[in-house]
């Protein structure tokens, strides 16, 4: 099979894969290509097939969800070609702007929730929503947001068994994922609350000095609404965060209910642009948050959590036989 792509600069690295810029040799179209070493995922090829299946279900269905354009394999690697997003992730983008306001934050959150509505309507739990997985397609001021990294996503219908694996990025994980009980779509609502809090307050609500203390804070819902951080923000913004961060998953709003929340209804229809009102400038807070985190625009995941998830998948799929990947036609 003649290779249809040439690779360029390195965009990111994870435990099992690297992300490189790739170009279709015939068209010149640029993509982000996830290159997965077969040796590193031997016996777990079904994980890649799961991601492909999820993205085939979602691709081209919503403008704010990353599209899987092609996938294929060589003797050594598996390849997945996605939209090339060059505008940075959510926190990088905000930090690069001169100023931004609560209204701009609400506009971003509304876009995320709108995309999440499509994901949930497709019977899918994203499972790893975080600022690093909210990408901007280009560097243009009016660039679209793209929700990315569906490596931990799962199909879960209303009557299907709930997920039981401990998945996600620790700071954004819902309390039910830390216990033995099952979990589903509400974990994404919790993550929306954490993202929104982080955008408005400038730090993640459950960040602590150790993983154990972080988990304890999540289970206790120990959310630090410091007065000096929220004094210049609307009460609706805090109410939105509090609604997302309800301990009982059944007590959290659905994506449809979030879209109708008064905070998004009041603020969320504006565009993401430099501040032009009298509300507080939130940019310094986000710059401070960005300086405290390790950034990977293509969603490098916490290795310990990912491995825990993989072990459960291995038990669920131990009898499956890998089949070749071949969307691209041989030339």
Note whether 177 and 168 are within 8 A (CB): yes
Instruction: Round the CA-based radius of gyration of the chain to a whole number and report it.
Output: 20
303-317 vs 45-58: helix crossing angle, rounded to 10: 100
Note whether 152 and 128 are within 8 A (CB): yes
DSSP state of 253: P
Q: Are strands 77-83 and 30-37 parallel, antiparallel or unpaired?
A: antiparallel
Note whether 253 and 242 are within 8 A (CB): no
Note whether 177 and 152 are within 8 A (CB): no
Question: What 3-state class would DSSP assign to 296?
Answer: coil
- CA 87/CA 285 separation, integer angstroms: 20
- CA 148/CA 21 separation, integer angstroms: 16
Question: What 3-state class would DSSP assign to 58?
Answer: helix
258: closest CA among 122, 112, 150, 62?
Answer: 112
248 Cβ contact partners less than 8 Å away, ≥ 6 residues apart: none
- CA 294/CA 13 separation, integer angstroms: 12
Would you please indicate which residues are annotated as catalytic (active-site) residues? Answer: 128
Is position 49 annotated in a ligand binding site?
no
Residue ranges for the known binding site for ATP are 34
Residue ranges for the known binding site are 34
């Amino acid at each position: 099979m003649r290779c249809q792509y040439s690779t360029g600069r390195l965009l990111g690295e994870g435990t099992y894969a690297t992300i490189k810029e790739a170009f279709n040799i015939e068209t010149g179209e640029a993509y982000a290509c996830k290159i997965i070493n077969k040796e590193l995922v031997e016996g777990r090829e079904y994980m890649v097939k799961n991601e492909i299946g999820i993205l085939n279900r979602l691709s081209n269905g919503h403008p704010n969800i990353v599209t899987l354009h092609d996938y294929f394999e060589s003797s050594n690697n598996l390849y997945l070609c996605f939209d090339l997003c060059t505008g940075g992730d959510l926190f990088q983008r905000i930090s690069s702007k001169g100023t931004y306001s609560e209204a701009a934050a609400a506009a971003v959150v509304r876009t995320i929730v709108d995309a999440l509505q499509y994901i949930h309507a497709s019977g899918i739990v994203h499972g790893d929503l975080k600022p690093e997985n909210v990408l901007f397609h280009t560097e243009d001021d009016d660039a679209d947001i793209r929700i990315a990294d569906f490596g931990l996503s799962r199909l879960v219908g209303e009557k299907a068994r709930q997920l039981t694996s401990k998945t996600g990025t620790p700071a954004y994980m819902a309390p039910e994922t830390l216990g033995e009980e099952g979990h589903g779509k509400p974990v994404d609502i919790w993550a929306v609350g954490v993202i929104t809090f982080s955008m408005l307050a400038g730090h993640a609500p459950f960040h602590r000095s150790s993983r154990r203390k972080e988990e304890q804070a999540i289970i206790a819902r120990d959310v630090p609404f410091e007065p000096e951080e929220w004094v210049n923000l609307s009460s609706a913004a805090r109410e939105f965060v509090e609604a997302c961060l309800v301990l009982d998953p059944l007590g959290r709003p659905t994506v449809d209910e979030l879209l109708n929340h008064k905070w998004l209804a009041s603020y969320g229809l504006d565009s993401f642009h430099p501040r032009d009102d009298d509300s507080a400038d939130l940019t310094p807070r986000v710059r401070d948050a960005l300086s405290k985190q390790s950034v990977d625009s293509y969603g490098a995941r916490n290795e310990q959590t990912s491995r825990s998830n993989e072990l459960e998948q291995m038990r669920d799929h131990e009898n499956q036989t890998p089949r070749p990947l071949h969307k691209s036609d041989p030339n």
